[in-house]
Amino acid sequence: MDMLDRDLQSVQAVRGLVRGAREAQKQLMEFSQEQIDRIVEAVARAGYDNAVRLGQMAADETGFGRADDKTIKNQFGSMSVYEAIKDIRTVGVLHEDTDAKVADIAVPMGVVAGLIPSTNPTSTVMYKALLAIKSGNAIVFSPHPGAKNCILETVRVLREAAEAAGCPQGALGCIEILTMESTNELMRLSDLILATGGTAMVKAAYSSGTPAIGVGPGNGPAFIERSADIRLAVKRIVDSKTFDNGTICASEQSIVTEDCIKEEVAAELLRQGAYFLSAEEKEKVSAVLMRPGGTMNPRIVGKSAQHVADLAGVRVPADTRVLVGFETEVGGKTPFSKEKLCPVLAFYVEPDWEAACETCVRILRHEGAGHTLIIHSNDESVIRAFALKKPVSRILVNTSGAPGGIGATTNLFPALTLGCGAVGGSSTSDNIGPLHLINIRRLAYGVRELDDIRAPRAAQPAAQLSGGDEDALVRAIVSKILHNLERRAT
């Protein structure tokens, strides 16, 4: 088939998927909470039971990350998310205040477009499928071309489990002929876009004319303050940055620390598998981190520290877990100050926590505003000062960035779509859950009459005015209004 035929066929196929999804969603809207929850549980268990196989498929197909870590992400995206949402009411009356005489009623969005990245493909399908069905919506997935097969297989597994539990056919769909035209048509025809992926894709979602929930780039600095448990702080950072080779956007991108503890922090990094690059080696690694236009080089995404070093022509010990480069600058010409979805970290040293605070802000303002910051400290006053100043949606304290941001090692809502708020170009700053995929219809009974809320007259009561006095007062008011209108007109 030539390119034109392929484009046309892909668009036609999407239209069929959306039609089927709409019919399925009409049926879902009639389901009880119990029926919805039965399907959701079946989908979660299917994802969990296939977590190992699908994790291996994702690693093999994309070449990103590690199969065992993708298994953990699949388990998180299925059963951890299920445990968080299973008791949330999403059907019918959600809340009623009998005293105030108001009630909240759930209204599903309709058909959701689920855009899936290549970095976390199978786990994100599980997560978005659970959110969509739990909220009474149908969902059609648009796979990243680099992860098409593992995404299609994940959708098949979940769809079969859902339909066996009573889900209408068509509620879980997936594009098979992948073109830009098919994704654009899906975004145009859907009722809500749930966009997880690169900046260009998220911008396209917001520009589509369809309501969208998107994310922004992560570039989280991790501040190690002098009161921190340095050994534990470094362990958390290295474990996070090497988990699935750094493909979770909430993972740490820089370490910022104070001059008085820099040697202790550096020594602990060395003990835990970090390799500090020389100035010459850092230049070589910088050259492979970004493409000429300043965007991330896909050849380093989800690769090990050893692989990145080899690409750069730098020899490092075989047991190296993460590459670290000393840095003082922030900006477009400083690759180490940007998001790096691989085990590479910048290392900044500042004289005190106030200066470190400003450096974190500079890093985030350059890239990553609205996303995540991590602080390791036992000084509550410093923690609170950071919380009040940082342009982020998540400040994680004494935990790892990647699992902390998605809610695995914190009590944030378990999610694989992390909003970045207005400062990060997102429509929300939340970790996205099923209630983000419904509208609220509000039922409100009248409790006051219009006469009850009319403002009393400022002048004396009308009963004390004669007919002539009332006429004069009205003429005076009208004259003043007309005079003011004439002045504005001129």
Q: What are the catalytic residues?
A: 249
- Take residue 311 and report the two structure tokens written for it: 């690409």
- Take residue 380 and report the two structure tokens written for it: 């509550």
Contact (CB, 8 A) for 5 and 150: no
How far apart CA 405 and CA 416 sit, in angstroms, is 9
Q: Considering only CA atoms, which of 51, 73, 66 is closest in space to residue 342?
A: 66
Task: Using DSSP, state whether 193 is helix, strand or coil.
Answer: strand
DSSP assignment of 79-92: IIHHHHHTT---SS
Task: Using DSSP, state whether 379 is helix, strand or coil.
Answer: coil
- Take residue 399 and report the two structure tokens written for it: 């935990």
The amino acid sitting at 116 is I
Contact (CB, 8 A) for 367 and 338: yes
Q: Considering only CA atoms, which of 288, 283, 254, 287 is closest in space to residue 269?
A: 254
Contact (CB, 8 A) for 154 and 47: yes
Q: How many other CB atoms are found less than 10 A from the CB of residue 141? A: 27
Contact (CB, 8 A) for 13 and 111: no
Burial class (CB in 10 A: 0-12, 13-18, 19+), 102: middle
Any long-range contacts for 214-217 (C-beta under 8 Å, 24+ apart)? 214/419, 214/425, 214/426, 214/427, 215/249, 215/417, 215/418, 215/419, 215/420, 215/426, 216/368, 216/369, 216/370, 216/371, 216/420, 216/424, 216/425, 216/426, 217/249, 217/339, 217/367, 217/368, 217/371
Return the CA Rg of the chain.
Answer: 28
Contact (CB, 8 A) for 138 and 93: no
Torsion, Cα 414 419 420 425, to 10 degrees, reads 170
Count Cα atoms within 13 angstroms, Cβ side, for 276.
13
Contact (CB, 8 A) for 129 and 43: yes
Tokens 């470190």 appear where?
356
- Take residue 295 and report the two structure tokens written for it: 């965007």
Q: Order across the sheet with 438-444: list the strands.
A: 93-97, 102-108, 438-444
